[in-house]
Structure 1
């Protein structure tokens, strides 16, 4: 690991621990740290234990996993596509996974079993990967993938809009819209077990190609001259994004901008090479989404804010910074 990155990772690990503890103790009912320790050891008030184990622990674990996956996917795509504004939605993974969940809600399949919605979401994300390969063909450059991703994302978005348009009743439309806004409220441990295998597989595939992403910063010809197999690298990266993001979106709904924001926050603290940004982006994404989830619980509103709304507002400053740089005002 590079020297400039050595202090960053331990600090982010400590930030994850702090965010996890805050997520477990803060909320509508504040729980002191002492009671948290008692509950962890099997003692204390049974009501406090129920709140921690059945409500807040699954929510915290989902926030950490989903945030880490989205942050890592954004960093990997920015390195591979050499585009600072790339994120999972660029290749249509997020919209396609969302389409699968919307289909489960629209046809009432989610009522058959809690696992139906996430499984269908993951399957549509993998289906979008197949379509992406068909559209992009054998082209190894990033432009073909971006154009194919836009087509896949637009098609999935059209399917979501059609579902809303043809929704059989306003309650189904409201349920679809609530899911599309993104939230990890009322998550259970079964959601953790559903998402975890997909996210672990996605993280492993994306971290595999760190050196290949460094070589790609020299261009396709430069990477090929260094012995990088571009076809295999693309397959691993797209599989990692589709499987990992599909599993994340399946349990959290559509949460945007995390994959865009986090790499830009951690990149100045590294040597700026794509491989050095990957692990910090995973850790930073976990911290960011967990912090945002704590924020939605603490903001006094009639109903809890949706997590995707908060992360969307957080993404605005990133676009403004890039706009000012392009206009040479920064």
Structure 2
């Protein structure tokens, strides 16, 4: 089953990516999509496919992939099944950066202001977490990340509390819910290099994560530089998840859920989970993004991507806690 897992996930992901190009307020046929991708004529189908749905689909793939990958790496690094990117404060820091851009009006100057500030916020909080936990171990990293995350969340709450007008508060709240609507190739160009660089750093930790499953002392005896692995994981998460949050808003549970869906199928080896978790995370976000469009088409009001994923992820999180409680020695 483990040999067929990655090809199967790729097939599912390609199928969902195709549906993502078809679905929306204006449904397109496969012929329309093919014509939009290949034709040089300025037709309505070409405008919808290349300028609206294709960048949205690419972002969904990248955002879901990096969230799933970072969750798998952090769970292996911290040896904690409940670890996910938000644990280190990256998501909260990125959210605070975007909120600052919206609160002070920078977001009205350019559409890339909020993503740019969010990216900086994610990198800053990750750097703080690393600096605070430098002389400690895994527990120190978790505590530092939690502290930084709490401070960033407090900053977001303060901005909402002191919002100069209801429209600013609404804009902040809407962004925090997470969405891929109205995204363009500019957002892909902004986030893409950081997400790809972060993914490369995270994937390079695979062998070290397998050794760390035996414990830090045993990993060191096998030649694994634990401190270097921790830095690679943290900065990979900061760049990748910071960029993902910058363009899509706060999206939770993907980094938590995706690794658990595939871990048993690869023999519970942390290094083997990375690629399947990446594909699974991408599948979750692409499928959820399609779901938001179907809900909008049927019910009218737009269901935000982060809200839909939370509605699905929260019950899974509860099941996971109960499952761990039953299986704990």
Q: In which range does the TM-score fall when normalised by the shorter chain?
A: over 0.9
Specify which of 305, 308, 330 is matched with residue 306 of structure 2: 308
CA contact (8 A) 1:35 1:44 kept: no
Q: Give how far 1:329 is off.
A: 8.8
SS in 2 for 1:214: helix
Cα gap change, 1:119 to 1:306, in 2 (>3 Å): same
Q: Give how far 1:278 is off.
A: 0.4
Give TM-score, length-normalised by structure 2: 0.96
Is 1:42 matched up with 2:39?
yes
SS in 2 for 1:146: helix
Stretches of structure 1 lacking an aligned partner (at least 5 in a row): none
Residue in 2 that maps onto 1:202: 198
Give TM-score, length-normalised by structure 1: 0.95
CA contact (8 A) 2:35 2:45 kept: no
Residue in 1 that maps onto 2:76: 79
Residue in 1 that maps onto 2:317: 319
Looking at structure 2, the residues matched to 287 and 174 of structure 1 have their Cα atoms a distance apart, in angstroms, of 30
Q: Give how far 1:131 is off.
A: 1.1
After TM superposition, the structure 1 stretch with the greater mean CA deviation from structure 2, 266-275 or 244-253, is: 266-275
Specify which of 38, 49, 52 is matched with residue 52 of structure 1: 49
Is 1:166 matched up with 2:162?
yes
Q: Give how far 1:269 is off.
A: 1.6
Is 1:102 matched up with 2:66?
no
Residue in 1 that maps onto 2:29: 32
Q: May I ask how many residue pairs the two structures share in their alignment?
A: 326
* 4+ residue runs over 6 A deviation: none
Encode CA deviations 1:159-198: one digit per residue, 9 max, x unaligned: 0001101110000000000000000011111001111001
Q: Give how far 1:121 is off.
A: 1.1
Is 1:228 matched up with 2:203?
no
SS in 1 for 2:260: helix
Q: Give how far 1:316 is off.
A: 2.1
Is 1:136 matched up with 2:170?
no
Is 1:175 matched up with 2:171?
yes
Is 1:122 matched up with 2:119?
yes
Encode CA deviations 1:138-164: one digit per residue, 9 max, x unaligned: 113x21111111101000000000110
Stretches of structure 2 lacking an aligned partner (at least 5 in a row): none
Specify which of 278, 283, 308 is matched with residue 279 of structure 2: 283
Q: Give how far 1:114 is off.
A: 2.6
SS in 1 for 2:326: coil
Looking at structure 2, the residues matched to 175 and 114 of structure 1 have their Cα atoms a distance apart, in angstroms, of 13
After TM superposition, the structure 1 stretch with the greater mean CA deviation from structure 2, 4-13 or 23-32, is: 4-13
Q: Give how far 1:320 is off.
A: 2.7
SS in 2 for 1:328: helix
Looking at structure 1, the residues matched to 217 and 327 of structure 2 have their Cα atoms a distance apart, in angstroms, of 34
Looking at structure 1, the residues matched to 12 and 202 of structure 2 have their Cα atoms a distance apart, in angstroms, of 23
SS in 2 for 1:186: coil
SS in 2 for 1:7: helix
Is 1:245 matched up with 2:234?
no
SS in 1 for 2:224: coil
RMSD of Structure 2 on Structure 1 (CA)? 1.5
Q: Give how far 1:288 is off.
A: 0.8
Q: Give how far 1:27 is off.
A: 1.4
CA contact (8 A) 1:122 1:247 kept: yes
Q: Give how far 1:265 is off.
A: 0.7
Q: Give how far 1:45 is off.
A: 7.6
Is 1:157 matched up with 2:153?
yes
Q: Give how far 1:319 is off.
A: 2.0
